[in-house]
Amino acid sequence: MLLFPTLFLLGILPWIALCADDFYKLLGIEKDASDREIKRAYRTLSKKFHPDKNPNDESAHAKFVSIAEAYDALIDPETRRIYDQYGHDGLKQHQQGGGRGGQHHDPFDLFSRFFGGSGHFGHGGGERRGHNMEVRISIPLRDFYNGAETEFTIEKQAICSACEGSGSKDGAVETCNVCGGRGMRVQKHMLAPGIFQQVQSMCDACGGKGKTIKHPCPVCGGARVVREPETHQLHVERGMPKGVRITYENEADESPDWVAGDLIVQLQELEPKMESGDALKLDGNFFRRRGRDLFWREVLSLREAWMGDWERNVTHLDGHVVRLGRDRGDVVQPGMVEIVKGEGMPIWDREEQEGDEDEFGALHVEYVVVLPDQMETGMEKEFWSTWEKWRKKHGVDLHKDSGRPAPKSHDEL
């Protein structure tokens, strides 16, 4: 009875070894990936497959372990070269032969080198968690409309990678012999014969850490952390609302003493700039957004507003053209707002609003009519005589013609 499972296992083991995933594929990176890209891939994937996040999922656990293995192999130039040339087998031989480089980390230990703490997530479980960080990033309305893949860089406290957060050049950390590792010293003062006062104070030999380092790390000076810029990918989805918060788990300040908190990015809208020579913006026209709707101001001349027969091509935020216009005789009143359906913002939270079939909000076009403040003398004269002629003939009254109630003081046109 016992024979069968044993044979079965023997049969399957070599198969597992043969099919070990390619390290580059595992991390989702190219063969020529830089150290930064390797680190970034590790950061992303190790959080995704961390067993704390995937309880009772053996395949996630296995993947978490493989990701750490892949990282260790590729981040070291020597082992990476061996891996590139001879693959998994070559690497195994190298490691069995006691080759230098490619430190083999316990996967949880490696995780803690990146995110602090003991290698576990700080959600419950009594693990100390660092503060969350919040940053605001402004992007142009265009990116809210079209969606965007961009990146941003922030400076944060990071665990020193040279000493892996130990603060020691040679990795040796000793217990402070002054305080015995407690970080505190108790001193007795005699207040009067036979009467003592105990005073507790921070151990100044180790600065309260309880540990001392003979040879501090030259990079962080023994502080175990450094300040460094870190670049993150920013994925802006079409129609995301202003002020939306995007969470980057465990990407806030790091420390060996706690699990890094979250980095929260709040998206703001960049104010449109007026100074550029962009012809579209010369007249101060740009799209403004309120929720899922867009607003646009279009300027018409007196002739256009009154007589009709005009056309406008408004270039939208993705470059497509919205045509506006009126036939001859079609009057536009100053301040009139025309609502163009389907030309507003893409609707981001469409799934949440049931029965909402629209993919886009509306575009509100407000018409501003500009009267000429100067006319050629000849033109002015002609207009004047036309007015006079028709006024005398019909007694033209614009208020009456427009069907509006007559104002109290009856001004003629």
The contact mask relative to Zn ion for 9-38 (x = CB under 5 A, - = no) is ------------------------------
Cβ 180 vs Cβ 159: under 8 Å: no
Question: Could you say which of 219, 234, 322, 336 contacts Zn ion (CB under 5 A)?
Answer: 219
Tell me the two tokens of residue 139.
Answer: 């992007």
Q: What strands lie across the sheet with 245-248, from one edge to the other?
A: 133-139, 263-269, 245-248
Q: How many of the other CB atoms lie within 10 Å of CB of 267?
A: 19
Q: Which of 77/218 has CB closer to Zn ion?
A: 218
State the Cα–Cα distance between residues 264 and 408, nearest whole angstrom: 59
Tell me the two tokens of residue 158.
Answer: 């990071």
The Cα diameter of the chain in Å comes to 123
Q: Is 68 in the site for Zn ion (CB under 5 A)?
A: no
Question: Could you say which of 178, 270, 370, 413 contacts Zn ion (CB under 5 A)?
Answer: 178
State the Cα–Cα distance between residues 263 and 176, nearest whole angstrom: 35
Q: Which of 210/241 has CB closer to Zn ion?
A: 210
Interacting stretch for Zn ion, rule CB under 5 A, among 126-134, 175-183, 251-259, 390-398?
A: 175-183
Q: Which of 110/363 has CB closer to Zn ion?
A: 110
Interacting stretch for Zn ion, rule CB under 5 A, among 148-156, 171-179, 288-296, 383-391?
A: 171-179
Looking from the CA of 151 toward its CB, the CA atoms found within 13 Å total: 7
Q: Which of 178/396 has CB closer to Zn ion?
A: 178
Q: How many of the other CB atoms lie within 10 Å of CB of 211?
A: 16
Interacting stretch for Zn ion, rule CB under 5 A, among 3-11, 86-94, 200-208, 325-333?
A: 200-208
Q: Is 225 in the site for Zn ion (CB under 5 A)?
A: no
Site for Zn ion in 274-333 (CB under 5 A): none
Q: Which of 257/278 has CB closer to Zn ion?
A: 257
Question: Could you say which of 41, 73, 163, 347 contacts Zn ion (CB under 5 A)?
Answer: 163
Q: Which of 205/264 has CB closer to Zn ion?
A: 205
State the Cα–Cα distance between residues 262 and 266, nearest whole angstrom: 13
Q: Is 220 in the site for Zn ion (CB under 5 A)?
A: yes
DSSP 285-304: ---EEETTEEEEEEEEEHHH
Q: Is 162 in the site for Zn ion (CB under 5 A)?
A: yes
Closest CA to 68 of 51, 87, 93: 51
Cβ 318 vs Cβ 239: under 8 Å: no
Least distance between Zn ion and beta carbon 186 (Å): 12
Q: Is 205 in the site for Zn ion (CB under 5 A)?
A: yes
- The H helix count followed by the E strand count for the chain is 10, 15
Q: Which of 220/324 has CB closer to Zn ion?
A: 220
Q: Which of 159/345 has CB closer to Zn ion?
A: 159
SS (HEC) of 144-174: HHHCEEEEEEEEEEEECCCCCCCCECCCCCE
Compute how many residues bind Zn ion; rule: CB under 5 A: 12
The contact mask relative to Zn ion for 131-160 (x = CB under 5 A, - = no) is -----------------------------x
Q: Which residues bind Zn ion (CB under 5 A)?
A: 160, 162-163, 176, 178-179, 203, 205-206, 217, 219-220
